């Protein structure tokens, strides 16, 4: 399952790069109910969900939880925004079920870039496609609410 999930998240990487990324990424498990990432929290890693479901929320001032995006599941990446701009997470992510994910930090990305010419460009292009897909889903959801 991890290969399929990583292929979906990093569709621009070639087979060798993908194999190295999968083998080197750190594995995490999050029991259901765990706050995986908190809004505003620094995150120096990009995660790829291998198993489970994650809800994406924002907590309003009075503490109410507000859904801000569709749930994440196998093959979805998260943490890419704060990985790139170092401004902290834009949402809180909560495990709706037991979640298994793998993560790559900046040191790992730099090491893979040193071993694979052109890796960095393909890696960031994959992240760009991830962000665009997410924006398109949010746009579609926003337009549907207006009807």
**Domain spans, the chain:** 2-106+117-145
Residue whose C-alpha is closest to residue 45's, from 6, 8, 2, 89: 89
Nearest 5°: phi and psi at 75? Answer: 95, -10
Are the C-beta atoms of residues 105 and 85 closer than 8 Å to each other? no
How much is the pLDDT for 66?
Answer: 85
Percent of the chain with pLDDT over 70: 95
CATH architecture assignment, domain 2-106+117-145: Sandwich (2.60)
The whole-angstrom separation of Cα 70 and Cα 91 is 12
pLDDT in tens, 112-129: 999 999 999 999 999 999
> Which residue bears the tokens 């292929």?
7
Listed as ranges, residues in the chain with pLDDT below 50 are: none
The whole-angstrom separation of Cα 69 and Cα 72 is 9
pLDDT in tens, 49-58: 999 999 999 8
């Amino acid at each position: 399952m991890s290969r399929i999930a990583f292929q979906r998240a990093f569709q621009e990487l070639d087979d060798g790069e993908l194999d190295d990324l999968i083998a080197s990424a750190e594995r995490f498990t999050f029991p259901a109910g765990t706050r995986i990432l908190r809004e505003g929290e620094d995150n120096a890693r990009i995660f790829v969900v291998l198993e489970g479901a994650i809800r994406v929320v924002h907590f309003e001032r009075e503490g109410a939880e507000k859904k801000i995006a569709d749930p994440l599941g196998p093959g979805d990446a998260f943490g890419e925004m704060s990985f790139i701009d170092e401004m902290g997470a834009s949402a809180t992510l909560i495990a709706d079920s037991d979640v298994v994910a793998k993560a790559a930090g900046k040191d790992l990305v730099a090491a893979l870039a040193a071993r694979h010419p052109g890796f960095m460009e393909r890696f960031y292009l994959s992240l760009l496609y991830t962000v665009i897909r997410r924006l398109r889903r949010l746009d579609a959801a926003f337009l549907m609410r207006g009807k």
